[in-house]
Amino acid sequence: MPDATGRERLLTVALPTGTAVAFLAVWQAVATLWAIPAVILPAPSDIVRQLVGSWGELLYQASFTGAEALAACVLSGIVGILVAAMLASSTPLREMLYPNLVAFQLIPKIALAPLFVIWLGIDAPSRLAFSTFISFFPVAIGTLTGLQSTNPNAIRLCQSLTASPSQIFRHVQVPYALPFFFSGMKVAATLSVIGIVVGEFISSKHGLGSYILLAGSRAETARIFAALVVLCVIGLALYGAIAWLELRVRRAWRG
């Protein structure tokens, strides 16, 4: 990556921030000047007021959603690695399963949420299973691609140095696959929040999903938006945690 000068670096922060602020300003202006009813579109200031007002309640609901999304994200990481390792280690297995796995992805998986309720009930295990089911795929495909993208010459080099398959795996294949795994994990972070919220829509008595559903039934639009802001923060936190982890792991593994 080329070294950004101070001016460029400032712009990369200032441009998106400025755009977001401008957007909020226009929203605020439109909502107040045209006197749009708050039930249709509350102004940003209404949302902030709502956020501050029901802070305790939002935090309480977010604790369920956040914890479950985190768990689902970790689970999809584990499942993704296991599936990728399985497919990478055996060519017949890969030929049998990989096309089916891709075809399976064409099903809109959100539509399967009621099935998980039938199979696993309406509690956290059901939501976790559903959310993991939605989010492990990019991790599995990313990691598999990474394991297979290892420079064949690097493997040959290791062989010429009489390296064992496990040494080749550890010293070459894993480091090559790490960026792929983590970009899969970043997608999984977003998907796992979606999975949990959808699960909460369907079956939960707590969490931000059910909170939004309840607010919707009472036409408390500002409340919905406030919950959305909190959901955004949860997604960002998960994403950030993964980016941080990536930095740590790559530093440790790649020396």
Enumerate binding residues for other proteins (CB under 8 A): 151, 153-154, 156-163, 167, 171-172, 175, 250, 254-255
Nearer to other proteins, 218 or 254 (CB): 254
Residue 138 Cβ vs other proteins, minimum distance, rounded to whole Å: 23
Residue 142 Cβ vs other proteins, minimum distance, rounded to whole Å: 17
Nearer to other proteins, 44 or 246 (CB): 246
User: Which stretch of DSSP H or E encloses residue 179?
Assistant: helix 174-203
**Sign (positive or negative) of CA dihedral 145, 146, 152, 153:** positive
Nearer to other proteins, 5 or 153 (CB): 153
Residue 251 Cβ vs other proteins, minimum distance, rounded to whole Å: 10
Q: Which amino acid, 163?
A: A
Structure tokens, 33? 């000047």
Question: Which single residue is written with the structure tokens 């599995």?
Answer: 140
Nearer to other proteins, 156 or 218 (CB): 156
d(Cα 172, Cα 19) in Å, to the nearest integer? 42
Residue 162, helix vs strand vs coil: coil
C-alpha neighbours within 13 Å on the C-beta side of residue 24:
11
Nearer to other proteins, 206 or 254 (CB): 254
Residue 247 Cβ vs other proteins, minimum distance, rounded to whole Å: 13
Residue 77: closest CA among 178, 205, 228: 178
d(Cα 91, Cα 138) in Å, to the nearest integer? 20
Residue 173 Cβ vs other proteins, minimum distance, rounded to whole Å: 11
Radius of gyration of the chain (CA): 22
